[in-house]
Amino acid sequence: MNLKNLALMALVAVPLAFNIGCTSSGDEATGGTAGDGGTGGDGGGTAPEPYAANICVGAKQAAAGEYCTAAFEAWATWAGDQDDSARDAAIDVASTTLEDSWQGAETAAEGAGANCSDSAWPASSAADSIKTAIDAIAQSVTDGLDLGMSGHATCAGDILDASGAACDEVLAAEGVHVGDLYADMDGSTLAQATEDAVATFSEAWAAATSGECPTNATEESVVDELQGVVVLAVTNTTVTPGLSSDAFTALEPGQTEYLGRTYDPQCMQGDQYRFFGRRGTVNKLVMYYMGGGACWNNLTCGLPTCSTAPPTDLDGLDSGFGDFDNPQNPFRDWHFVFVSYCSCDIHFGDATQEYVGFEDVTVEHKGFHNAKVAERWAREHFLNPEEVFVTGSSAGSYGALFNAPLLHDVWPASQFHILGDAGNGVITTDFLQNEFSNWNFVENLPDIPGVVESITEGNGMPGYMESVADYLPDTNWANYSTMFDGGSGGQTGFFNMMLNDGNPLAAQVWWEASCQFGETALAQSDDIYDTVPDNYRYYFGTGSRHTMFGNDKVYDDTTGNVPTVVSWVEAMLASGPDGRDPDWTNILCEDCGLTLAGDPAPSPLEAPFEMRGEDIVIVCE
């Protein structure tokens, strides 16, 4: 591996479960919509202005490149005079200049409403680490040379000067790239600048070693060591070094200024909002939106039929794709932002509602505020991930599907994959036309053709999915569900509430909607696929379990002659604009009514549930 590759690679180094349920009636949410403002993305549109934190990090990387030049020049001079004190003094001056530059960049970002200090190591640490790496390169270049001989000293000085120039050029190019990701979404400009820097270094190496220069270093070894310097600088300016990689860190934001708007994160009853972050070991990011039900009127919010407080910690996340010790987990090494849920509006509400009834209820539907605050934190701590996997379970499924288009503006150079876990958008027309507006979605929808119309005039979730998947064709979009997703907090529970005028008691007899849900969910998914077959897929498993992301069934369940969920997700991750993995296909179970151990069922059994031998099955007419 060498510097030519650098621009093309990533640079970094039940019990509590992902479908955390609501306090009373489960953790499902309703159909809906997405977004805020305008989305550039793969589909075109107007690119947003570069974000202040990115500009800051770009300036830091450029300053690190200048430090490289100064430090290598100090060593090049030393090769001629062996004056240790003069060399060290020159490097100390360069260190001070680096610290001043970084402080200036951070101050400018803060003035523009962004945080750039947490995303990178302190300038003193940067200078020390880069210096250590440069010292090692200088030692390798001078090894085998007699610096008392002018020819040897000149050769060493020329190589070290060329090394500083290459380091500076590549880090300057890295800074331009991260400073405005929209201007170089495919990384081609960065790759070309890196290739040019390597070519220039190669010419300098050939000229320097054309005479007597018995250095034990090789051109390839020095290029590899220079790559190490660049990776060190880029990694520690784009991935927050202070965040734990062993556990989730709880974050409790207050009122937050972001992109010209003030956000007020809070739970539905006004309590403190909390989300969580975890650093990985590869430069890839999961944005996970927690489930927890929903409410939209006096009855549903008065009970309520949703979670009203975020978890205090995530110590119990140790199963399914939340098991970071499982070698089968494709996300075990990824960065992870866990967007908690307590606003009862599928992560996209932007309203304070007074629901009048037997006892009036005031609800803060501020899911959009909570999501945007988590978004700001994520973009300032993971600035340029190679891939972004946006997902969520139940209510969080919709949070993922609706916020995903907006995240394309945050990380425009990243490959995106979007998976909704148990959020197929099976809702009633009455809910869409008369209740959905209580969350005030439309104001923050992305500027994507067809999106607003799908909510205000169309068929809701299917129309929305068709619009965003068509507009963002390089992004993979997918839905997962069991065919009869059940339980009072499952998709059938909330669907049955909608079928019964929003009556929460209908969730207790959720199986009455099982067959209609399964038929509708599959038909909607087929319609979406027919419209956007290149980048949309669905997976329907057997039975009535609600959600899969935090369950170990993702690794071993093949009931109904389906592939494992993990193999299907891995095929999704292997798919991109250059081609879709042939294993990433639509999955439809056989004998879909066959339930698994632990799947919800009425007790005693009621139609459409019945016994078949020792198995409980769902039989629809």
Which pLDDT band holds residue 416 (cuts at 50, 70, 90)?
A: very high
What is the structure's pLDDT at 21?
A: 38
Amino acid at 195: E
What is the structure's pLDDT at 118?
A: 86
- Give phi and psi for 530, each to the nearest 5: -60, -30
In a 13 Å sphere around the CA of 549, the CA atoms on its Cβ side amount to 31
Tens-place pLDDT, residues 189-227: 999 999 999 999 999 999 999 999 999 999 999 999 999
Percent of the chain at pLDDT exceeding 90: 90
Query: Is it the case that residue 42 has pLDDT exceeding 80?
Result: no
What is the structure's pLDDT at 615?
A: 97
Residue 350 near residue 368, CB atoms below 8 Å: yes
222, with CB counted inside 10 A (0-12, 13-18, 19+), is buried
Tokens of 483: 């065919």
What is the structure's pLDDT at 191?
A: 98
Helix boundaries (H) for 42-83: 52-81
Query: Is it the case that residue 449 has pLDDT exceeding 50?
Result: yes
What is the structure's pLDDT at 39?
A: 61
Let me know the angle formed at the C-alpha of 534 by 532 and 539, rounded to the nearest 5 degrees.
Answer: 80
Tokens of 132: 């250590």
88: alpha, beta or left, given left = phi > 0 and alpha = psi -120 to 50?
alpha
Q: What's the average model confidence in pLDDT over 94-118?
A: 96
Average pLDDT of the chain, as a whole number? 92
What is the structure's pLDDT at 46?
A: 75
Tokens of 481: 């569900």
Let me know the angle formed at the C-alpha of 568 by 30 and 29, rounded to the nearest 5 degrees.
Answer: 10
Alpha carbon distance 423, 487 (integer Å)? 14
Tens-place pLDDT, residues 132-162: 999 999 999 999 999 999 999 999 999 999 9
Which pLDDT band holds residue 47 (cuts at 50, 70, 90)?
A: confident
Peptide bond into 608 cis (omega under 30): yes
Amino acid at 344: C
Between the alpha carbon of residue 464 and those of residues 397, 448, 520, the distances in Å are 14, 10, 16
Residue 418 near residue 476, CB atoms below 8 Å: yes
Query: Is it the case that residue 23 has pLDDT exceeding 80?
Result: no
Query: Is it the case that residue 10 has pLDDT exceeding 90?
Result: no
Q: What's the average model confidence in pLDDT over 306-323?
A: 95
Tokens of 300: 């549903």
Percent of the chain at pLDDT exceeding 70: 93
What is the structure's pLDDT at 358?
A: 85
For the ranges 29-33, 86-90, 466-470, the lowest mean pLDDT is seen at 29-33
Alpha carbon distance 344, 556 (integer Å)? 32
What is the structure's pLDDT at 15?
A: 30
Q: Strands 415-421 and 387-393: what pairing?
A: parallel
